[in-house]
Amino acid sequence: MKLKEAEHPYYCNDGNYYSNDAFIKFESWEEFLFGYGDVDIDLNLIFRWDYHIQDDGKQILQIYMIQQRKGIFRPIWVMNVKDEDEQEIRKFLQKHWEKMKENWIPISQNVSSKNSSQDFPENSQKVEGSK
């Protein structure tokens, strides 16, 4: 499946409720990579992306990042994406997908394919003060 064929069932907000300064727009994939191509994934985790084709044929990649240490939700638009960028975009997003899976290992390792709605593992530690 090509990235531009993916359809997510619900949208992600392009704004940040707490800040008007969180949104960033880049004019190309190359410009985005210059600014964010080698950032620390733990500190700048992409949790979602959307790909849109405008009526005029221009392609936009919308990236949704959480800057975990600062608590900043950062929506990013990458304008003028080209078909030739897809492999590089996939490679970039794959690193973030691997981090997401790593973050959820304590749950995913205990979920059987028969019961994907299983609750948290019984042996998980409770947070102090929780019931």
Question: Which is it for strands 72-81 and 24-26: parallel, antiparallel or unpaired?
Answer: parallel
- Does residue 52 form part of some domain? yes
Question: pLDDT tens, 75-129?
Answer: 999 999 999 999 999 999 999 999 999 998 888 776 554 444 444 344 444 444 4
Establish if 114 belongs to a structural domain. no
Say if 7 falls within a structural domain: yes
Is the distance from CB of 61 to CB of 6 less than 8 angstroms? no
- Domain hosting residue 68, numbered range: 3-105
Q: Hey, what are 1's tokens?
A: 């499946």
Q: What is the mean pLDDT of the chain?
A: 83
The two most distant CA atoms of the chain are separated, in Å, by: 54
Instruction: Find the length of the chain.
Output: 131
Question: What are phi and psi for residue 105, nearest 5 degrees?
Answer: -55, -45
Residue 113 lies in a domain: no
> Amino acid identity, residue 36?
Y
Position 56 confidence tier, pLDDT thresholds 50, 70, 90: very high
**127 domain-assigned:** no
Q: Is the pTM of this model over 0.75?
A: yes
pLDDT at site 121: 44
Question: What is the 3-state secondary structure of the chain?
Answer: CCHHHCCCCCCCCCCECCECCCCEEECCHHHHHHHHCCCCCCCCEEEEEEEEECCCCCEEEEEEEEECCCCEEEEEEEEEECHHHHHHHHHHHHHHHHHHHHHCHHHHCCCCCCCCCCCCCCCCCCCCCCC
pLDDT value of position 130: 42
Write down the pLDDT at residue 110.
65
Q: Is the pLDDT of residue 48 over 60?
A: yes
Residue 124 lies in a domain: no
Confidence of residue 66 (pLDDT cuts 50, 70, 90): very high
What's the total number of domains in the chain? 1
